[in-house]
């Protein structure tokens, strides 16, 4: 039995030491997920605590099929989405037909580290950020996003495009500022 399997089995038995080790091992990853969906650090902390409680509550249902980390990710995303205010998406207009998918040179953003990227994504408006994270990072398709957020598929697509456009603009602005600094 591998270390991870031993950890899971002990957590299923209610071994507090194993549960503590699980928190220690996966809390960083879970916090990153929560931060991507939360409005601020306090909300991210609340999301994280709730996610961990859900993990311990449902750990007996984990049958070993698939990766344990992937299972925890799914629970964390679902728990985070409980905090999303569905009111953001009411009365949205369908803008898909009006917004093209934009492209920028990869040199503009590729050199940034994960912290900068996280900041950029977090700086997006909440309703765009949620759709962007669900689609791009957590591999939801538009139908699943629409069902989760109780919106139309077209709305999901338009929010994604808007998020993409805004991110690209931010990267361009950052790139220009960096070049200006270098020039001086």
Partner 1 sequence: MKKDFFYKWHQSSLTKHSTEVDVDLLWAAIEPAVDEINNKRKRRRGFFFFLSFVCVSVISIGFISLFIPTTSPYSARMSSDRNMKVYDSKQGIQIDAISIDNNKSTADKTAADALPSSSNTQTSSNTVSSSSIISPAKTVRNDYPKEKTSKHFRSLSTSKVPVKIYEPTPNEKLSVAAKSASVKTTINNEGAISDIIISNDDIRKALVVTDRLPIDFNPFLRIDPADDKKLPTAAIDIESAPKFTFSVGVYSGLAFAQKTLEQKFSTDSDEVFILREGTESSLEVWTNGVTGKAKHKSGLSLAAGVQYVKIAERMQYDTDYLLMDSIANQVIGYSNNLLGSRSTIYGFEPNNTLFDLEYNFYNNYHLLEIPISIGYQKQLENWNLCARASYIQNISLRTKGRILSSPYQAIDISKSDSEVFKSKLSSSYELGFSTGYRITPNVALAVEAFYRYMPGSVTTDSYGLTQKYNWTGLNASLNYLF
The residues that touch partner 1, with contacts defined as CB under 8 A, are 14, 16-17, 19-20, 23-24, 27-29, 31-32, 35-36, 48-49, 52-53, 56-57, 60, 103-104, 106, 109-110, 113-115, 117-118, 121, 133, 135-137, 139, 142, 157, 164, 167-168
Minimum CB separation from partner 1 for residue 180, in Å?
A: 24
Q: Which is nearer to partner 1, 3 or 91 (CB)?
A: 3
Least Å distance, CB 183 to partner 1, is 26
Tell me the backbone φ, ψ of residue 122, rounded to 5 degrees. Answer: -70, -20
DSSP 138: S
Q: In the complex, what is the shortest distance from the CB of residue 154 to partner 1, in angstroms, rounded to a whole number?
A: 12
Cβ-based nearer residue to partner 1, 91 or 113: 113
Which CB atom, from 91 or from 106, has the smaller least distance to partner 1?
Answer: 106
Give the angle subtended at the CA of 19 by the CAs of 17 and 54, to the nearest 5°. Answer: 160
Tell me the C-alpha distance between 53 and 177, whole Å. 43
DSSP conformation letters of 35-93: HHH-SSHHHHHHHHHHHHHHHHHHGGG--S-S-HHHHHHHHHHHHHHTTS-GGGGTT--
Nearer Cβ to partner 1 (40/103): 103
Spatial CB neighbours of 42, under 8 Å, sequence gap ≥ 6: none
CB of 184 to partner 1, least distance (A): 29
């Amino acid at each position: 039995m591998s270390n991870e399997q031993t950890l899971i089995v002990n957590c299923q038995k209610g071994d507090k030491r194993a549960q503590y080790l699980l928190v220690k091992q996966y809390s960083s990853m879970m916090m990153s997920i929560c931060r991507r969906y939360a409005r601020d650090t306090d909300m991210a902390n609340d999301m994280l605590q709730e996610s961990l409680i859900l993990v311990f509550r449902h750990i007996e249902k984990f049958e070993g099929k698939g990766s344990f980390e992937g299972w925890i990710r799914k629970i964390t995303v679902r728990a985070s989405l409980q905090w999303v205010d569905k009111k953001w998406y009411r009365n949205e207009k369908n803008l898909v037909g009006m917004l093209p998918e934009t492209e920028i040179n990869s040199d503009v953003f590729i050199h940034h580290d994960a912290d900068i990227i996280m900041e950029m994504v977090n700086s997006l408006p909440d309703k765009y950020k949620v759709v962007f994270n669900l689609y791009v990072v957590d591999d939801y398709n538009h139908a699943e996003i629409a069902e989760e957020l109780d919106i139309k598929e077209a709305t999901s697509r338009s929010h994604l495009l808007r998020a993409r456009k805004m991110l690209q603009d931010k990267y361009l602005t950052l790139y220009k500022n960096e070049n200006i600094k270098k020039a001086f």
